[in-house]
Structure 1
């Protein structure tokens, strides 16, 4: 039977600095799994003289609704709107960012790409909550084994922002045989826009010229994805 985190029994606002010390000791002895989200967040925040870390952790989770909601907040917002110190805000943002990356490290160097689902599973948690579109390429060798990843741009996806030079120069340096294009839609809807289709068409054409195949373009939304390869949309 799963253990219930101790902080589930009473609100964070009623816990004292002594409770915070007890949480830290339990973390050392038993691991993070036995602590509730409020306790872990309070430990990240550290000492906070204004209202106490447990109270502030509770306020943050109430304000954003969940850890996922909190993970979307930039450090400057946590400082200005919620009174965190700059160091504490950076710790919180960094920890939540690391958690996303830890859950998205499925594509290790040498892993063989076989399906679009692999791309989705590897990048979904990393990309789904970003406020801006991020465009990246996954580079593979002649046997579709991963040899690298390149973040090409951040912002609204346009043909001018995603220039073939920025896409293919790293691929040529890595001696890649192919690549998968990946980007997210912050709206959560992965259906490609006309601009997505135009960028894909342009990059496929350049790839044919330089001998680096564009194998797929995977657009990631909230809990689902669209694959140009699976839909038959890749230009031939």
Structure 2
């Protein structure tokens, strides 16, 4: 089986949101731009919503990796796909009909992904893998950037990778939270291939160089 692509998806959560389009321009060497949509209900933080994402996608050629940390994604998620998001992730804990929603996202041209909080087990969703293009395993509690990576989630990543490999499917595993030079290798070794790095990239003196370093470290752990 061929290895999945190693992708770096910096989160704009740690950027200057008052200059969002310019801040996205600082990470053009990345594979995706990670957009955290928070509603102050599902998580205790508020960022931006559909109108901001729509306008941003009109001003960037980067592929958008939209992460919905919102209540009722069944109602709102498809609009982000229609706006041009390359990937739309909704939380398993919030969706009432995850298979239906995943199918609707695919019908609108987006990769369909489900996110799991650190304490949410992956096993109930393994039978649904053929309906998904990606699983996001949160490595912090969702809601705020700059948190410390939770190593206790690594076995869940490994179990998810084993199930995907057994299925022989092209399904990505994304990790989000505390991803840095110190942690990305462990996440890749466990089986993740898509890495959301916010503060590690945006607080670096040279974001492009940091993206390259993170990609190299993840690739080394995959191909050791």
Same fold (TM over 0.5): no
Higher share of residues assigned helix: 1
Please say which structure displays the higher CA radius of gyration. Answer: 1
Structure with higher RCO (Cα < 8 A, 6+ apart): 2
Q: TM-score, length-normalised on structure 2?
A: 0.34
